[in-house]
Structure 1
Amino acid sequence: MSLTAMQVLLVEDEPAQREVLAYNLEAEGYAVRRAENGEEAMLLIEEQSPDLIILDWMMPLLSGIEVCRRVKSRPETRDIPVIMLSARSEEVDAVRGLDTGADDYVVKPYNLRELMARVRRQLRRSRPAASGEVLEFAGIALNAETHRVTREGAEVKLGPTEYRLLVTLMEKPGRVFSRDQLLDLVWGRDIYVDTRTVDVHIARLRKALSGQGGDDPIRTVRGTGYALG
């Protein structure tokens, strides 16, 4: 899984608007998946959780409001940022959209440069490592640009899989990830790996992080999975 190829799900039933927005997102370096209605959007989210959802309010089959409600009600998808697009400019509509769980609300017609700035802002919040930020937790520092990891100033040598595991855990410290979630996020859904493989790589990551004698920062949640801290 690439840490820089962030995936945006674009849900828009108007073809011309969908393609113009997709073109601009792809020009920014994002991998764009398209859906033309709410039901198709839910199927794509089930297949692979995106890093961000841009969601039109008024759509056939399933409204954007209902898609947002379902995404935000599920533990496995509730952290995905949602930008709601709507021609409804009344304040009460914006409040309703935000109350449903949308992270941002943009009124049509929108300025493309402003929308792209809002996309970048939401992705920085949800995927700080993919935006090149340095992540820090309990003396561990991870520089996503240089792929350098240190603990209390001492360099930590990690293999590619252990590095991706650490990124995933450090982007959401305290959050408990199931083994299946880690498989999807670190290995990808297209690759078949036994869940016990997660345990093996977590053990290697623990050993590397504790190599200087520090406490084990990874918590095992019996019957569920793992969390950082």
Structure 2
Amino acid sequence: MPRHPGPPSRNRVESHTSRRNDQHEVARRLEEASAETLAERRRTRGERVFALLQRQTDRRIQVLHRRMRRRCESMEQDMETRRSQIDERWRKYQQRVNCEVEKQLRRYEARRPEIEEQLNQIQQRVNRRLQKYQEDYEARRPEMEERLRQSWLQLDGWLEAQRPHVEETIRRREEKLDHWIEVQNDRFDALEEEETIRFEEEES
């Protein structure tokens, strides 16, 4: 029969305990290393994701910058084109105006003798008409002065005839005005007397 083992010796127990402690320590260290590795992985992954997002953002910003730059360049080109078109239209308009002015000047210069002749004829007709009016006025002047003198005499006679009526009208109006002033003075005196009596009664 096999020999029944006896109780473990002290050395065997200590060795077994030491191995078990070593295993726990190894497991603890592995667990810590695994946690550190996981944290490192997470941190590294976060950094990679952040770097990726940063690169994507930078690329988008660059794309937007390029688009804006192209749009600004396109707008500047359009403005230059429109400015050139406006300048060309203005130049053509000035040419047309200058041509029209020169044409009118040439036409005026061509017709200048005719126009001056017409002006001279008009001036001569005006002068003749003014001279005729002056002669007619001088011829009719005595008659007109006599008629004017007669008119003044008639007016003086009419005014002299109207003088009594006018003086009577003025006299009546002055009498009415004097009467109205007298009535107003009496009314004012009565009001002043009433006010004085009322004041004396209030004082007493």
Same structural fold, with TM-score higher than 0.5 when normalized by the shorter chain: no
Superposition TM-score tier, normalisation by shorter sequence: under 0.3
Which protein has the larger Cα radius of gyration, Structure 1 or Structure 2? 2
TM-score in terms of structure 2 length: 0.16
Larger strand percent: 1
TM-score in terms of structure 1 length: 0.15
Q: Which has the higher contact order (CA 8 A, sep 6+)?
A: 1
